[in-house]
Amino acid sequence: MALQRQLARSGTQFAKTSIPRVQSRNLQDIAITRTGKPIIRISGGRSSLGGHTATVFGATGFLGRYIVNRLARAGCTVVVPFREEMAKRHLKVSGDLGRVVFLEMDLRNTASIDESVRHSDIVYNLIGRDYPTKNFDLEDVHVEGATRIADAVAKYDVDRFVHVSSHSASLDSPSEFYRTKARGEEAVRNIFPETTIVRPAPMFGFEDRLLHRIAKASNMFTSNNMQERFNPVHAIDVGSALEKMLQDDSTAGETYELYGPKQYSMAEIKELVEREILKTRRHINIPPQIMSPVAQLMNKFVWYSVMSKDSVAREFIDQTIDPSAKTFKDLGIEPTDLANFTYHYLQAYRSSSYYDLPPMTEREKREEKKYLHVLD
Ligand code: NDP
């Protein structure tokens, strides 16, 4: 530094350019993990090199992209175990070259699970299914699968494990989905007590199964007249909470319930959706005594996700909030309300006859002219 100042005083431009600058790290950048490993924590961008290696199981789903992208763009190496080649392609570009690493995995193949977690210092488990499939029932996915992942995490003494469960998870719930989610929580905590459990409310976003299910269907079949109530949460807020858990080790061993600021019934959400898409969806209510067996048959014989016996049972369960669980507030995040995002996520469902026009003039307002553009 003294040499630099001396050369600068002598008036040479050379002084500024030729002295090599050594990149220095602040002591605060270095964190010691639970297992005593030093890790460089950076707030850097996409091309920076952070110290964390994270494995995200279930990254190919809806929520997955919101955490993979956050980690990769902060310079973490992200290991993405996958089942299907085509399902993971979009994740490759969510980080810089070499930041997102793919590994083929099967939930029953413990060697592939071990391989996916053994280089990581944090593991996220986002694997879940709303309905039973040909090869995996809900117990296989939420309890046995989660147990195998937690076993691998404990075996390689990974620093952190974040397990995504579900809102209303309860051992005595009438829904198998909520029951198996609760049993999964119990199983992972028994194996790895430092597990952070995350219970998201129904999520909305570009790829959700909440707003888009209503916007897409021309006929909606339900059993409870859309009376179930819950606090929908923005997928981006959940992604941001999952990222905070990586940086904050005090979240280890805690349970977080992540829900939005306002409670809605499904019928209220339908109204919001219809207002945005400028169409009305027909709603047909069928009693559960008929709907349940029909849904069970459809789940068995239709190869894509339609409905299941359990999804009918879930219509009769309102979201329950555990007062002892931590929330967004404990992570310093202000959750956003669904109503602020319906236009953003649903504008594509509007007919092409509607398009953005400049604001109405006073005269147009007086004459109550509608902003309707007639094409033919
Ligand atoms: P998705 O259904 O979109 O994705 C689920 C992920 O789990 C996919 O990556 C899927 O892999 C994987 N998966 C499912 N079954 C298996 C299996 N047998 N073996 C291996 N992988 C499997 O879920 P979301 O992203 O919406 O949700 C993430 C988590 O949050 C889930 O655990 C879900 O239960 C929970 N949750 C979600 C809510 C929501 O509103 N979306 C509400 C409450 C909880 P593949 O792509 O190969 O099928």
160-192 residue pLDDT tens? 999 999 999 999 999 999 999 999 999 999 999
For residue 3, what pLDDT band results from cuts at 50, 70 and 90? very low
Q: Under a CB-based contact definition with an 8 Å cutoff, are residues 349 and 281 in contact?
A: no
pLDDT at 24: 56
Q: Which of 68, 83, 148, 237 to mutate to test the pocket of ligand 1 (most atoms within 8 A of CB)?
A: 83
**Of all protein residues, whose CA lies closest to atom 38 belonging to ligand 1?**
202
Residue of 108, 129, 321 to test ligand 1 pocket, by largest number of atoms within 8 Å of CB: 129
Mean pLDDT of all residues in 214-225: 91
pLDDT, residue 46, reads: 83
Is the complex ipTM higher than 0.95? Answer: yes
In this structure, the residue with its CA closest to atom 7 of ligand 1 is: 127
What are the percentages of helix, strand and coil residues in the chain, rounded to 5?
40, 15, 45
Instruction: Work out the pLDDT band at 221, boundaries 50, 70, 90.
Output: very high
The pLDDT assigned to 147 comes to: 98
Structure confidence by residue, pLDDT tens digits, 238-277: 999 999 999 899 999 999 999 999 999 999 999 999 999 9
**Range in 40-49, 102-111, 154-163, 348-357 the model is least confident about:** 348-357
pLDDT of residue 325: 97
- Give the percent of the chain with pLDDT over 70: 86
Spell 324-355 as b/e; 16+ CB within 10 A means b: ebbbbeebeeebeebbebbeebbeebeeeeee
Ligand 1 interacting residues, C-beta cut-off 6 A:
58, 60-64, 83-84, 87, 107, 126-129, 136, 141, 164, 166-167, 200, 202-203
**pLDDT-wise least confident of 17-21, 45-49, 244-248, 249-253:** 17-21
Specify the residue with its C-alpha closest to ligand 1, atom 1. Answer: 61
Helix axes 176-191, 146-155, angle to 10 degrees: 10
Over residues 39-66, the mean pLDDT reads 88
Using most ligand atoms within 8 A of CB, pick from 55, 56, 62, 188 the residue to mutate for ligand 1.
62
Specify the ligand 1 atom closest to the Cα of 84. Answer: 47
